[in-house]
Amino acid sequence: MMGGGKSFAAVRDICYHSSTPVIYAVPTIELAKEIESHIRNADCGIYEENGGFKDVGLDENGERYKLDLPIKVILSDEYHSVQKEFIDALIAYGHYAIIVTHACLFALENFNLLKGWKVFIDEDPHPLRVDIISDALHQIHFLNNLISNNTHDLSEVTEFTIDDATQKQLEKLACLEYGQGYRDSIKNYLQLLIDPKDKLLCFKNSEDKSIWGGVEWLPLKEIIQAAKETHILASILSPLTHMYAEYKGIEIKPSPLSVRYCEYPKSLQKKVSIYRIWKDEPHSINLIKRYGKSQFEQKISDFVNGREFISRSNEVNQSLFKQMKNHKERLSKKTNGINRHDEKTMIVDCAAYNKPKDINEIYKFIGTTYNIPVDKLIEGHQVQEGLEPSAQAVCRIGLRRIDNAPANEYIIVIPDQSTEDYLKKFYFPHANYKGPIITEDVSNKAGPKEGSTNQNTIEKVAKAKELIEGGLSMNKAVKQVGTTKSTYNKYSNLV
Please list the residues that pair with 411 across neighbouring strands. 273, 346
The pLDDT tens digits of the residues spanning 210-259 come to: 566 677 788 889 999 999 999 988 877 677 888 888 888 888 888 888 78
Coil, strand, or helix at residue 387?
helix
In the prediction, which pLDDT does 293 show?
87
Distance CA 184, CA 169 (A): 13
Backbone dihedral region of 333: left (phi > 0), alpha (psi from -120 to 50 degrees) or beta?
A: alpha
Measure the CA angle with vertex 345, ends 10 and 426; round to 5°: 55
Coil, strand, or helix at residue 301?
helix
Report whether 255 contacts 230 (CB < 8 A).
no
CA within 13 Å, CB half, 483: 28
Low-confidence stretches of the chain (pLDDT beneath 70):
42-60, 63-68, 77-80, 131-167, 170, 173-174, 177-179, 181-213, 237, 335-339, 354-359, 443-455, 493-495
Distance CA 70, CA 21 (A): 10
In the prediction, which pLDDT does 435 show?
95
Measure the CA angle with vertex 247, ends 243 and 253; round to 5°: 70
Which strands make up the sheet holding 432-438, listed edge to edge? 327-332, 309-313, 346-349, 410-414, 272-278, 432-438
Helices and strands, number each (H, E), in the chain:
18, 17
Report whether 23 contacts 104 (CB < 8 A).
no
Nearest to 471 by CA among 185, 181, 186, 187: 181
Distance CA 397, CA 406 (A): 11
- Where are the extended beta strands (E) located within 123-198? 128-134, 158-160
In the prediction, which pLDDT does 304 show?
94
In the prediction, which pLDDT does 151 show?
46
Distance CA 68, CA 42 (A): 10
Report whether 97 contacts 71 (CB < 8 A).
yes
In the prediction, which pLDDT does 55 show?
63
Coil, strand, or helix at residue 303?
helix
Instruction: For CA atoms 17, 21, 26, 29, give the dihedral sign.
Output: positive
Query: What are the residues whose beta carbons fall under 8 Å from the beta carbon of 204, sequence distance 6 or more?
Result: 155, 156, 157, 210, 211, 358, 361, 362
Report which residue type is found at 289: K
pTM, two decimal places? 0.75
Query: What are the residues whose beta carbons fall under 8 Å from the beta carbon of 494, sequence distance 6 or more?
Result: 289, 290, 292, 293, 446, 447, 458, 461
Report which residue type is found at 73: V
